[in-house]
């Protein structure tokens, strides 16, 4: 009986949601992989690109809900690969940005499983592109800081973040998974020394048909209506022109109606009685 040759694990970035933003390599791997282990935030449009022979498994962990553990995900990757299958571990955005990539690489290395990382477009870049702005600008924003509003167990809570050491007037701050209450960011960042006039933008479901863009300022951030997850928050002078563009592209009555719909939805009010 011939020995089964081990497969390979590809840790692939699916981008922010739009299938057209996939890399050519990511698309090719989806078509030929034996197993797809995808996060919950990977869009259905991208999951549907998998080959007809592939075994597709949702291993998502969303909003803190208990489903599958990281240890179980690691075990699945290793088990399938050692059984001779090529595995795509499909992650939203880029695998190396808040995707627990390092933990999975450690597990694969310990099991002597061959792997390859395939980068994807991270949400911050897609959000800036959607707004028509740059994340850096040599005239006003020479530094980019990326943080997460959601922390794994054992990591310092957001309330203890030393914002004054991270931000300044020449910094663009990007907050992944900022949550539904943005007033904390507004208060803490102004206490850290940022001016209330600093431009901000909140975008939910970046690059999808359900995308919602709201441009505001740091001082007005606490009054922003709740947006649907996943969302991202951009703060800094570099995103200043976003406000003019969003207002120009969205009629005021439609913009206000959209905000009211979102507010009712999260208050539990049915729009269709």
* Residue 71 DSSP SS3: helix
DSSP one-letter string for 186-250: HHHHHHTT--TT-EEEEEESTTSTT-EEEEEETTTGGGSPP-PSSEEEEESGGGTTHHHHHHHHS
CA 50 to chain centre: 21
Alpha helices (H) along 8-149: 24-32, 44-47, 70-82, 101-110, 123-131
DSSP one-letter string for 157-190: PGGG--GGGT--TTEEEEEES--S--HHHHHHHH
Q: Is 66 a catalytic residue?
A: no
| Six-digit token string for 38 | 């995808």
Q: Among the options 39, 86, 91, 94, which is catalytic?
A: 39
Q: Is 137 a catalytic residue?
A: no
Q: Is 39 a catalytic residue?
A: yes
The strand order across the sheet containing 199-204 reads 143-148, 171-176, 231-235, 199-204, 212-217
Q: Among the options 8, 34, 40, 61, which is catalytic?
A: 61
Q: Catalytic positions, please?
A: 39, 61, 177
């Amino acid at each position: 009986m011939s020995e089964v040759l081990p497969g390979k694990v590809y840790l692939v970035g699916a981008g922010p949601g739009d299938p057209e933003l996939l890399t050519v390599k990511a698309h090719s791997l989806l078509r030929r992989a034996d197993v797809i282990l995808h996060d919950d935030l990977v869009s259905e449009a991208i999951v549907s690109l998998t080959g007809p022979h592939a075994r597709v498994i949702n291993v998502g962990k969303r909003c803190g809900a208990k489903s599958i553990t990281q240890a179980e995900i690691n075990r699945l990757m290793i088990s399938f690969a050692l059984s001779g299958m090529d595995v795509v571990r499909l992650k939203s955005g880029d695998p190396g940005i808040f995707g627990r990539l390092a933990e999975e690489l450690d597990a694969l290395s310990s099991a002597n499983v061959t792997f390859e990382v395939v980068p994807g477009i991270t949400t911050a870049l897609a959000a800036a592109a959607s707004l028509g702005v740059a994340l850096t600008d040599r005239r006003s924003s020479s530094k980019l800081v990326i943080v997460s509003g959601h922390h794994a167990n054992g990591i310092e809570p957001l309330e203890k973040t030393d914002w004054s050491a991270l931000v300044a007037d020449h910094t663009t701050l990007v907050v992944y998974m900022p949550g539904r209450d943005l007033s904390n960011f507004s208060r803490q960042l102004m206490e850290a020394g940022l001016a209330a006039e600093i431009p901000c933008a909140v975008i939910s479901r970046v690059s999808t048909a359900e995308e919602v863009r709201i441009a505001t300022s740091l001082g007005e951030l606490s009054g922003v209506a709740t947006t649907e997850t996943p969302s991202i928050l951009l703060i800094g002078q570099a995103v200043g022109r976003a406000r003019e563009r969003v207002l120009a592209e969205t009629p005021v009555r439609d913009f206000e109606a959209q905000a009211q719909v979102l507010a009712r939805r999260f208050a539990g009010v049915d729009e269709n009685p």
